[in-house]
Amino acid sequence: MSTQPTQLWLPALDRFDAAHPLRRLLARADRLDDGPRERLAMLAAAFEGTGEQLPAAALVREHLAGDAGEAAWLNADPAWVQPDMNGVRLMACGSLSLQPDEAQACAQLLQPAFAEAGLQLEVTAPNHWQLRLPPDAPLPDFAAPEQALGEDLYQHLPQGAEGRPWRVLLNEVQVLLHQHPLNAARQARGLPPVNSVWWWGAGRLPSALRSAFAGVVGNDVLLRALAAHAGVPGQARTPSTVTTAPAGSLIDLQDVPAAELGRDWWPALQALAQRQPLHFAFAGGERWSWRPWHRWRFWRGASR
């Protein structure tokens, strides 16, 4: 039986208003030192053996296709960018609800450009694309999507001479996708266009990962890939799987809006809090520790 608390990964604390039921619970919990804010850093800390740079592309490829092998991989996830007066902003990445036929149509268009650059594009899943890289290919630093979302993407592209081929290739990809009739059809249905890709998560599959978690509950494909490679049981996120998660699990709710957490998920979270220790890890870095007996701390006021 696990002796560590169950970890709950949640949105940034400032997303929860003063009347949110979570605030009342935190008022009786213990404040801890802040932890990492970036999601990739949280994932790397949760699974030992990933190295300095989390090889997200290889892990996702292995999880979904089972053939990462010893090759180097790079995510080239479908993305939506939008020009404005200050540049071009990355609006979404890997979350465009592409259908399989849409993803294949884009890949067919882009394959010649990637092949000319010595790269092989693999549509691992409609919303998750990877590049199989040549052996010993020099790679610059690539920014994770969370670092660039909502910002001018050119500030987050790989820089210098080593990054120039990737900037040139991205520009070519954007020109090709901009002309694709698929995007006019998507926009007519009220969907964002697929007009770019985003490079991130380069590396090779780690030989082994370690984790102390008894299980993982979440929908994020990278989290599930890490759990599978570490031999940790994984479940899709539902109120039922949250309520019945064994002690010492990791429950990922970081992408759930705060209002939805209070409305649809709170009974499940309350049930957990009544019977097992919890460690709250917010996306803004805030950390709190909860024990079931903390509910008797009536003298504590509302959390700020």
Which residue ranges make up each domain of the chain? Answer: 6-51+208-296, 56-204
DSSP string covering 137-191? --------HHHHBTSBGGGSS--HHHHHHHHHHHHHHHHHHHT-HHHHHHHHTTP
Percent of the chain with pLDDT over 90: 87
Q: Which two tokens stand for residue 239?
A: 């109120």
Mean residue pLDDT across the chain: 93
Average pLDDT over every residue of 161-169: 94
C-alpha span between 117 and 297 (Å, rounded): 63
What's the pTM value of the predicted model, to 2 decimals?
Answer: 0.92
- pLDDT digits over 18-45, tens only? 999 999 999 999 999 999 999 999 999 9
pLDDT tens figures, 71-130: 999 999 999 999 888 889 999 999 999 999 999 999 999 999 999 999 999 999 999 999
Return the HEC string of 72-87.
EEEEEEEEEEEEECCE
Model confidence band, residue 301 (pLDDT cutoffs 50, 70, 90): low
Running DSSP on this structure, what letter comes out for residue 203? Answer: E
How does DSSP classify residue 5? P
